Each structure stands twice: as structure tokens, then as C-alpha cells.
Amino acid sequence: MSAFHHNSPTDRDIRRVLQKLLVMLSLGVICVSVFYFLTGCCESDLTEYTISNRPAREFLLPGWYHERNGTFYKDVVTVHDEDGYQGAGERSTKTPDLVTNNSGTDWTATRRLPQALIIGVKKGGTRALLEFLRLHPDIRALGSEPHFFDRHYARGLNWYRSMMPKALDGQVVIEKTPRYFVTMETPGRVHSMSRDVKLIVVVRDPVTRAISDYTQIISKTPNIPAFETLAFKNSTNGEIDDLWSPLWIGLYAQHLERWLAWFPLAQIHLVSGEGLISDPAGELGKVQDFLGLQRIVTDKHFYFNKTKGFPCLKKPEGSSKPHCLGKTKGRIHAPIDPDVIQRLREFYRPHNRRFYQMAGQDFGWQ
Ligand SMILES: Nc1ncnc2c1ncn2[C@@H]1O[C@H](COP(=O)(O)OS(=O)(=O)O)[C@@H](OP(=O)(O)O)[C@H]1O
């Protein structure tokens, strides 16, 4: 009896302690949830990546993820060029290690179709432009090249929208796929998505661009014939093979004409690829104006890296260290016979003149 009276308060004590522990545990869980919610840990933008000092190939290839209906999908990585990858829904159980850039932490952010597109040109400086634009807090840029209008159109606009980063009201969603500029069906398809979309084309001297293109091709397929062999239909009479892709892409007037059948020139902004290297802040200023954004990306964001020979970012978004583009951007070109270069300059001269007239802008190519 006395033992019973002696044990009874101890049981109550234990119950009380257990109740207190339960209350404290619940409070802990609530606090952690609130903390995660406020810091945005629950919200990661899976189509984005953090800019790092590592070359693009290293930090992009390990995995692109996107999320649909609460499931993470690892993108099937198909290398298009140094920085172009496309997603196609291979299921993954891994947690994404890629994180968002400015903004997606706000729960009001939604995925929207892009209001602006960098449509070209291949090897013009499109990656540099996109990386520089990402510094702007009102820009939400897709890191990969989705190739929606040229390769994946059958997947539909909902798929395209699902690829986009989340954006807040007032932010401009943008993607870059340089092949859009030269593919026949793209202007009409872009127009049917939106007649108001803003289009950006980075253009570069077509001769240098062709050599850059060839340098990239040969880096992947070293056994292809020499540039000089591919550039001419007939080496004895010097007739240029303008259907060879590296040369055909440089026929800017012809490609622009196709876009002008669908969009007014005022909706197309041409960026000088050379200017993007010599005066990145100047070119970025004009692009920000065109996009209706405040000029936030300015010369204080850039420095000239002598080793790289190109402008680099002092402090890229998502990192505190300076950042240059990867080694496939700004690489040493394949050596080309100077007579061939001269012949190509002559070939492009009338095409360039026509392009300047159409664009109302002289890019000063020789
Ligand atoms: N800041 C900076 N750093 C490095 N490279 C720069 C920069 N600005 C412009 N460029 C030029 O960009 C060229 C590559 O163009 P793209 O990014 O459009 O190439 S791609 O079509 O996406 O493969 C690349 O071409 P190459 O020099 O022939 O490699 C560069 O000349």
C-alpha cells in the first residue's frame, strides 16, 4: 500500500515530463518548418543552376532537373554544344543539387512563357549575353537551351512553360537558343506563342563566326576535312559553298528577312558580338533599355581578364568570386589560309551591306 502511494506520483511525473517533451518536440518541428518556409529551402528552381567558377561543362553535365507534379525528373542530357542541353523526362530519385538564382523564393512566383528570346546567332556571344543579363534582378533566365521552337515543338507550350524558371510579376523570363535564328519554321511558331515577344540577336562578323563554328566542329570531330575544302564548292574556281552550315548561318540578311515577315524591326534588338567583348556594359545597357528594365548591369560588374582575353564578371550572381566563361568560349581558332579569309570577306560584303540596310545599323565588318 505504501509502495503504491510512493510510486503513483512518480508515474504522474513521468507523464508530465513526457507531455512536456512532446510539446517541445512539436514546437521544434513547427519552428524548423517556419524557418524552411521563410528561407525558401522548400522552393528550389530546378531549371536553374548556380554560376560557379568551374567551366560550364563541369557544372552543367552532372544533372539538370525539373519538377512536374511534385516529382523530380533528371533531364536526359543531350549535348548540343558547349552549353546547350535539353530535358526529356528521365525519372530520378536523386535530390537536385542545382539551386535557384534571384527570386524564386517567393511563393507567388510562377512559371510563365518567355517574354524575351535570344534567338541567335550561334557563336555570336549568346552565352556571354545570357550570363551577363542574369545579374539583373528582374531577369529570370533558363540556363539550358530548350530548343523548343526548332526541335521540341510537338511537346507543346505546357512542356515549354514547365522548363522555364519561376518568376515574379514584373520579372522578364528569357531563354536562349541560337539555332532559332536560322530555322525556317521558328518565326511563325514564336509568333503564334506571342506576337509581343522581344527578340534579341547577337551578330558577329560572319567570317570570324564561321571560323569559330568550324573550330567548335573540329574540336568534336577532329577528322573532318579542312575548312578550305568545305568552304568551296570548287577549289579551282573559288566558288563558295554557302550551303555549308558555318557559311550559311552568316547570311544574316536572309535570316532576318524571315523574321521580319512576322515581327516588326522594333521588336528585334541586334547586339554587336564585337561590342559585347570591347564594351560589355554598353551593349548590356542597350539590351536593358530594349527589355524595359532599369540599367542595373553596368561597367562596375565587369573586369577585363588578361589571361582569358575577355571581359569576365567581378561577382557573378550566386557567387562571391570572379567568373569567366568556360574554356570553350573565347578559344583559339583553327588557323585558316589568309587568302581564303579574304575570299570570304568578298563573298559576305554584299550580304553584310544588305543586312546593315535592313537593320538600320552598320556593324563595321570588313
Ligand atoms: N566575355 C566573354 N567571354 C568569352 N567569350 C565571349 C565573351 N563575350 C563574347 N564571347 C564570344 O562568345 C563566343 C561564343 O558564342 P556563343 O556563346 O553564342 O556560342 S554558342 O553558339 O552558344 O556555342 C566566343 O567565340 P570564340 O571566341 O570563337 O570561342 C567568344 O568570342
Of residues 327 and 98, more confidence is placed in: 327
Q: What is the mean pLDDT of residues 191-200?
A: 98
Q: How far is the CA of 119 from the centre of ligand 1 (A)?
A: 15
166 is catalytic: no
pLDDT at 40 over 50: no
Render 178-192 in DSSP notation, one character per residue. Answer: GGGGG-TTHHHHHHH
Q: Pick the range with the lowest mean pLDDT from 55-64, 261-270, 277-286, 328-337.
A: 55-64
Rounded to whole angstroms, the Cα distance separating 100 from 272 reads 29
- 309 annotated ligand-binding residue: no
Structure ipTM: 0.99
- Nearest-atom index, ligand 1, CA of 324: 3
Of residues 334 and 319, more confidence is placed in: 334
- 198 annotated ligand-binding residue: no
Helical (H) or strand (E) element with 9: helix 2-39
Of residues 50 and 158, more confidence is placed in: 158
Q: Which CATH number fits domain 112-359: 3.30.565.10, 3.40.50.300, 3.40.1160.10, 3.30.56.10?
A: 3.40.50.300
Q: How many C-beta neighbours within 10 Å does residue 88 have? A: 14
Q: How far is the CA of 209 from the centre of ligand 1 (A)?
A: 10
pLDDT at 167 over 70: yes
Q: What is the mean pLDDT of residues 273-292?
A: 98
